[in-house]
Amino acid sequence: MHLHRTKPIASIMCLVVSALLLNSCDLFDSKLVTACETILKQRLLPSSEYKRIKVSELDELELDRRLLESYLVTRQQRSKASGYPLAIDDAWIQTELKAFDNGISRPSFLARR
């Protein structure tokens, strides 16, 4: 990402939003948070003025077959109700469940900590 002097407001807004998404350094941060924060600090003009406000990460919840089937049926119902021309059909649900049963697919949900 190159910051151009012709677009200082957009650059400043981008940095402000990025800074607001982060919080002060924590010894228990994930590698992703640490790497993002390091790069952000390198790209700030006065990096000494950086202060992390808040960071949120997601936990991964692996689905079992029952939860997966429930999720797929709910998606199917919503796609049909919305009038979407290519609504999810039963055959697609069965294909997804077979992939799960065969160990090909291991879907998961992401949830806030």
Residue 2 lies in a domain: no
Phi first, then psi: give them for residue 92, nearest 5 degrees. Answer: -65, -40
Instruction: Provide CB contacts within 8 A for 59, sequence distance 6+.
Output: 110, 111, 112, 113
Q: Are residues 69 and 91 in the same domain?
A: yes
Residue ranges for the chain with pLDDT beneath 50: 1-6, 23-25
Report pTM: 0.46
| pLDDT of res. 93 | 92
Phi first, then psi: give them for residue 112, nearest 5 degrees. Answer: -65, 145
Q: Are residues 74 and 88 in the same domain?
A: yes
Q: Are residues 48 and 73 in the same domain?
A: no
| pLDDT of res. 98 | 95
| pLDDT of res. 3 | 47
Q: Are residues 65 and 47 in the same domain?
A: no
Q: Are residues 70 and 92 in the same domain?
A: yes
- Domain boundaries, position 88: 59-112
Structural domain tally of the chain? 2
Q: Are residues 79 and 50 in the same domain?
A: no
